[in-house]
Chain A
Amino acid sequence: MYDHPHAPSFDEFLAGWEMDLYRDPVYCGVFAGIVLGYLGVFVVLRRTVFLTAAVSQAAGLGVALAFFAQIHLAIEVPPMLGAALLALALSALLALPLQRMLISREALLAICYLLAWAAAVLVGSRIRQESHDISSILFGSAVLVSRSDLWTLLILGGVSLSAFLLLHRGMAFAIFDREAALVQQLPVRAIEFGAGVLTALCVAVATRALGVLPVFAFSVLPGVAALMLLERLRAVLLLAAAIGALSGGAGYLLAFFQDLPVGASQASVAAAFFVLAWMLRRLGR
């Protein structure tokens, strides 16, 4: 492996860990990997992979609007609240019956993604924060994770995982055979809406803390990898959560020791797990 001339040693890492320099970003990466890896299985099975990308962009726009309101309108809006509100607004929009508008869900997701992206860049250009990279203000950086972001993710992630465990059987039926579940009078639309809102909130909060790239990677790659390897939903969910956790933690260490961008390293580790799963699947046949 390429040895970076200024790469820090393991002792330096331990010293920094003792000084509480790296704990929050590592914990945040690991926990976001667990939560998004788990929820991502349902995202993949429901064929709404692009949803997490669109929600990430909407969350970024929410952060930008919060800063804009603070700087130009003197209205105090916490950035995390801005991210959550825009993510929820997007989820509500996607829950509308779209058949009569002759727009597919996939096309609407793409439209929302593009609009949110463009608007975040435009609003971001009006925020004067010369000392910071604007993209890390809008989307987080996975390096500087605040304690409040970590706690928000822990609480929201814990609530979401508990809710998904409670709804597990109903969600599984609704995904496998939606119409039969409707016929057997399961509250399919309520389950889908609740799951969509919780997923959107988790994505928004994780995006604010870590950035778009690792969040999108955690929401897709662990789920796809686990689905290739295992034949039972519960086992798939556990493996996806484990892959997400390893990607978050190992990705941070890779970035630290090789002096690489953290988000890209976490996404790359998740991608390596996907490749490994693909190879194992091929070998198993």
Chain B
Amino acid sequence: MSETLIECRGLQVGHGGRAILPPIDLEIGRGQLWVIMGRNGNGKTTLFRTLLGLLPAVGGRLTHAPGLSLAYVPQRAQLDPIYPALAREVVAMGLLRGRSFLRAGRGESRFIAEALERVGAAELSDRPFRELSEGQKQRVLLARTLLSRPQLALLDEPTSAMDEVAERQALSHLDWLRREHGTSVLIVSHHIGLMRELAERAVLLDASCGEVEVGAIAQVVGSRLFAHNYGPPAPLLAQAAATEARG
């Protein structure tokens, strides 16, 4: 069994002491890729923020492995649209952890360039971040995640503004991070066909029905709750296969 990074036992998430989902049990192991699914407003971001420690749990137990290093890519709308920084300066933020910001950042430029190159954004290095397209911004934030080399990376719809090719590349970078560095990845995504290819495990949330499905991706996609939210899985898989064939 893989080393456990996050363990939830009867975890209840919500706001103001009120749970919005039933208790959740899950264990995120080293090197695993999880996808969190659910339609808009069904608690995906709330669960995400609770796992990150940004929101207090309403109930149950949430345990992080000692010294667990995390990285987080928020939804694109959460970033400051007027903040003045070059793309490489945003990537450099991935190197900051704890009080390391007090030290001067010498000798970082090579690592930053490598991270940008890996996500196919080397040409964006000296461009102002605030002037990039949304898809380019997401690639830069992905480079920041790669550079920080966390044990667990949590990404909230990190490819929502990318075209299909860029999205496939971005997810393959995350897969590389997982294979090369044993980084676990937890990703919120609506692209179920693509996720089914990459993710091993899934969490499906439905706050309106008060139900949660946790397990292997095939089990979750084949569940009654999935069919209730997205319709039967077959058309989705056929759509994914067609996309694959076109690609």
Which of A131-139, A145-153, A168-176, A211-219 has 4 or more CB atoms under 8 Å from chain B?
A168-176
Residues of A within 8 A of B74 (CB): 177, 179-180
Stretch from B92-100, B184-192, B219-227 contacting the other chain = B92-100
Whether A179 and B52, one on each chain, are in contact in the complex, defined by CB atoms closer than 8 angstroms, is: yes
A181 close to B (CB within 8 Å): yes
In the complex, residue of chain B having the shortest beta-carbon distance to the beta carbon of A235 = B84
Pair A179/B78 contact, Cβ less than 8 Å = yes
Give which listed residue, B16, B84, B105, B148, contacts A236 with CB less than 8 A.
B84
Shortest beta-carbon distance, B196 to chain A, in Å? 27
Give bound CA distance, A41 to B130, whole Å: 16
For residue B80, CB closer than 8 A to chain A, the reply is yes
Q: How large is the interface on B (under 10, 10 to 19, 20 to 34, 35 or more residues)?
A: 20 to 34
- Give B161-204 as 1s and 0s: 1 = Cβ < 8 Å from A's Cβ atoms: 00000000000000000000000000000000000000000000
- Assess whether A279 is interfacial by the CB under 8 Å rule: no
In the complex the two chains form, is B85's CB within 8 Å of A180's CB?
no
- Cβ of B90: which chain A residues have Cβ within 8 Å of it? 176
Q: Which of A169, A177, A179, A231 contacts B105 (CB 8 A)?
A: A169
Residues in chain A near residue B101, CB distance under 8 A = 167, 169-170, 173, 186
Interchain CB contact (< 8 A) of B96 among A100, A179, A186, A227: A186
Check if A45 sits within 8 Å of B82, measured CB to CB. yes
Q: A233 at interface (Cβ–Cβ under 8 A)?
A: yes
Does A19 interact with chain B (Cβ within 8 Å)?
A: no
Check: A275 CB closer than 8 A to any chain B CB. no
- Which residues of A sit under 8 angstroms from B99, Cβ to Cβ? 186-187
In this assembly, does B79 line the interface, its C-beta being within 8 Å of a C-beta of chain A? yes
The answer to whether B70 has its CB under 8 Å from any CB of chain A is yes
Cα distance, A186 to B82, chains bound together (Å) = 22
A1 within 8 A of partner (CB): no
Report the count of interface residues on A (CB-CB < 8 A): 27
Chain A contacts for B49, CB-based, 8 A: 179
A107 at the interface (CB under 8 A from B): no
A169 touching B85, Cβ below 8 Å: no
Q: Is A182 an interface residue (CB 8 A)?
A: yes
Cα of A177 to Cα of B80 in the assembled complex, Å = 7
Q: Using Cβ atoms and an 8 Å threshold, which residues of chain A touch B96?
A: 169-170, 173, 181, 184, 186
User: In the complex the two chains form, is A231's CB within 8 Å of B86's CB?
Assistant: yes
Contact A176 B79 (CB under 8 A): yes
Is the C-beta of B146 less than 8 angstroms from some C-beta in chain A? no
Q: How far is the CA of A170 from the CA of B105 in the complex (A)?
A: 12
**CB-CB under 8 A for A179 and B93, given A166-B102, A185-B98:** no
Shortest beta-carbon distance from B5 to chain A in Å: 14
> Within B36-62, which residues are at the interface with A (CB < 8 Å)?
49, 52-54
List of B residues within 8 angstroms of A175 by Cβ: 80, 83
A175 to B79, CA, bound (A): 9
Residue among B54, B79, B131 making CB contact with A177, cutoff 8 Å: B79
Interface string of A37-80 (1 = CB under 8 A from B): 00000000100000000000000000000000000000000000
Using Cβ atoms and an 8 Å threshold, which residues of chain B touch A96? none
B14 CB to nearest A CB, Å? 14
Given that A173-B96, A177-B74 are known contacts, is A227 also in contact with B82, CB under 8 Å in the complex?
Answer: yes
Q: Is A230 an interface residue (CB 8 A)?
A: yes
Complex Cα distance A180/B54, Å?
10
Query: A233 touching B72 by the CB < 8 A rule?
Result: no
CA A227 to CA B2, docked complex, whole Å? 48
Given contact pairs A177-B74, A179-B78, A184-B70, A233 touches B84 in the complex (Cβ within 8 A): yes
How far apart are the CA atoms of A258 and B78 in the complex, in Å?
A: 48
CA distance A157 to B25 in the complex (A): 52
CA distance A227 to B81 in the complex (A): 12
Is B35 on the interface with A (CB-CB < 8 A)?
no
In this complex, what residue of B is CB-closest to A166? B102
B72 touching A179 by the CB < 8 A rule? yes
- Residues B98 and A186 in contact, CB atoms below 8 Å apart: yes
Instruction: Name the distance in Å between B211's Cβ and chain A's nearest Cβ.
Output: 28
B85–A176 contact, CB under 8 A?
A: yes
**B54 and A172 contacting across the interface, CB-CB below 8 Å:** no
- In the assembled complex, 11 residue pairs joining A and B whose CB atoms fall closer than 8 Å, in A order, are A175-B83, A177-B79, A180-B72, A184-B69, A184-B72, A230-B84, A231-B85, A232-B86, A233-B85, A233-B89, A236-B84
Q: Using a CB–CB distance below 8 Å, which chain B residues touch chain A? A: 16, 49, 52-54, 69-74, 78-80, 82-86, 89-90, 93, 96-99, 101-102, 105, 128, 130-131, 148, 154
The 5 closest A-B pairs by CB, nearest first: A170-B101, A231-B128, A169-B101, A183-B72, A180-B72
Besides A167-B102, A184-B70, A227-B84, 10 new A-B residue pairs in contact (Cβ under 8 A), listed by A number: A45-B80, A175-B83, A176-B83, A176-B90, A183-B52, A183-B70, A230-B84, A231-B85, A232-B85, A235-B84
